[in-house]
Amino acid sequence: MRTLLLGGAGFIGLHLARRLLADGHAVTVVDDFSRGRRDRDLEGMPLDVRDGDLTDPRTYRALEHGWDQIFMLAAVVGVRNVERDPSRVLRVNTLALMHLLDWIERDEPLFFASTSEAYAGGVSAGLVPVPTPESVPLVIEDVASPRFSYAISKLHGEAAVLHGAHAVVGRFHNVYGPRMGADHVIPELSLRAMRGENPFTLYGSEQSRAFCYVDDAVEAMVRLMATPAAFGRIVHIGDDTEETNIADLAKLVLRIAGSVGGSVAGRDPVIDPVPAPAGSVARRCPDLSLLRRLTGFEPRVSLEEGVRRTFDWYRRSAVAAVVEI
């Protein structure tokens, strides 16, 4: 299989690349390295890596055709980008996709990475149930709010690929794991636990999330791309088996930090709860009935095991000064 990963040097892309190589694929990665890194993890894999800005149609024109699978992961993501530069989020996420659709051939199967944020407006407005299935109505409460720029760009993408390609849309729900940067909650808590922060500030401690370890998300992607009935559909991807609130998640991270000899070993920091960032939903959990029905998927990595693997990676990387602590 010849597989193309657009935005493949980022978090999910690298874990997907590792899995596809193990399955015998020849993998080509295209990335502009705006967030993805040419680090030891990437350099250590037998990938064909190409530097290119996917908002520039010449990047696509330079690529050959005949791919067995194409994964569109490239996007500007993260709360910080969304708050600081919503126009960049909208520009990059829509333009990179529209050029892809101008270039892709009808028989090249496409996976498009979307997000649970696509329906988050409906959760905030109390209009959709949690756990949330794919079928809920979509609500953009305020088109001018920076927060919705990401959801709008992904909703546009969902409609564009469903009409313009032979595609599966996967909506990721709180995927986490090694090498995901320092902005997301699990790496951020891990890095602060390593520093021995005390008091330990906790944003939105009552908020509830269902975290999905990246290997499980990758398994779901691989299965969906092998399922003809998944094409032309939006499918939720996540782990609905172990919802947790942020306070309990922090306790788990601190316990792991203590047990592996992190700097908090031997003393429990005082938790200092502060309100969640404006606009983030109180509860998020996917309804995975469709994913299970289509593919037989079941999450395999427990929250404790996934957090432990993630913490270990950040501890080793911090020692090697790959990430800041």
Ligand X SMILES: NC(=O)c1ccc[n+]([C@@H]2O[C@H](COP(=O)([O-])OP(=O)(O)OC[C@H]3O[C@@H](n4cnc5c(N)ncnc54)[C@H](O)[C@@H]3O)[C@@H](O)[C@H]2O)c1
Could you say whether residue 158 binds ligand X (CB under 6 A)?
A: no
* 29-34: long-range pairs with CB below 8 Å, 24+: 29/5, 30/4, 30/5, 30/6, 30/54, 30/59, 30/63, 30/74, 31/6, 31/7, 31/74, 32/74, 33/9, 34/76
Q: Are 48 and 27 contacting, i.e. CB atoms less than 8 angstroms apart?
A: yes
Could you say whether residue 31 binds ligand X (CB under 6 A)?
A: yes
Could you say whether residue 104 binds ligand X (CB under 6 A)?
A: no
Q: How far is CA 24 from CA 7, 46, 128, in A?
A: 20, 11, 41
H or E element in which residue 201 lies:
strand 200-203
Q: Kindly tell me which residue out of 5, 11, 86, 222 binds ligand X, with binding defined by CB under 6 A.
A: 11
Supply the minimum distance, in Å, between the C-beta of residue 33 and ligand X: 5
Could you say whether residue 280 binds ligand X (CB under 6 A)?
A: no
Give the closest residue to 90 by CA, choosing from 6, 149, 29, 10.
149
Q: Are 152 and 143 contacting, i.e. CB atoms less than 8 angstroms apart?
A: yes
Q: Would you say 9 or 294 has its CB closer to ligand X?
A: 9
Number of Cβ within 10 Å of residue 274's Cβ equals 10
Question: Could you tell me which residues are beta bridge partners of residue 49?
Answer: 29
Q: Is 66 exposed, middle or buried (0-12, 13-18, 19+ CB in 10 A)?
A: exposed
Which amino acid belongs to residue 152? I
Distance of CA 9 to the CA centre of its chain: 13
Could you say whether residue 204 binds ligand X (CB under 6 A)?
A: no
Q: Kindly tell me which residue out of 96, 186, 257, 303 binds ligand X, with binding defined by CB under 6 A.
A: 96
Q: Binding string, 161-180, against ligand X, x = CB under 6 A?
A: -----------x-xx-----
Could you say whether residue 249 binds ligand X (CB under 6 A)?
A: no
Could you say whether residue 115 binds ligand X (CB under 6 A)?
A: yes
Question: Could you tell me which residues are beta bridge partners of residue 272?
Answer: 201
Tokens 């969906």 locate to 224
Return the range that interacts with ligand X (CB under 6 A); candidates 20-28, 31-39, 222-230, 241-249.
31-39
- What is the token pair recorded at 110? 């496409």
Q: Kindly tell me which residue out of 18, 25, 35, 192 binds ligand X, with binding defined by CB under 6 A.
A: 35
Please state the three-class secondary structure of 79-137 as a single string: HHHHHHCHHHHHHHHHHHHHHHHHHCCCCCCEEEEEEHHHHHHHHHCCCCCCCECCCCC
Number of residues that bind ligand X (CB under 6 A): 27
Q: Kindly tell me which residue out of 17, 27, 42, 54 binds ligand X, with binding defined by CB under 6 A.
A: 54
Supply the minimum distance, in Å, between the C-beta of residue 270 and ligand X: 30
Supply the minimum distance, in Å, between the C-beta of residue 226 and ligand X: 19
Return the range that interacts with ligand X (CB under 6 A); candidates 50-58, 140-148, 160-168, 263-271.
50-58
Q: Kindly tell me which residue out of 5, 13, 67, 169 binds ligand X, with binding defined by CB under 6 A.
A: 13
Could you say whether residue 81 binds ligand X (CB under 6 A)?
A: no
**Closest residue (Cβ) to ligand X?**
10
Could you say whether residue 109 binds ligand X (CB under 6 A)?
A: no
Q: Would you say 94 or 174 has its CB closer to ligand X?
A: 174
Could you say whether residue 101 binds ligand X (CB under 6 A)?
A: no
- 167-172 and 175-176 strand pairing: unpaired
Return the range that interacts with ligand X (CB under 6 A); candidates 73-81, 255-263, 287-295, 309-317.
73-81
Supply the minimum distance, in Å, between the C-beta of residue 12 and ligand X: 4
For binding to ligand X (CB under 6 A), which residues are involved?
Answer: 7, 9-13, 31-36, 53-55, 73-77, 92, 96, 113, 115, 172, 174-175
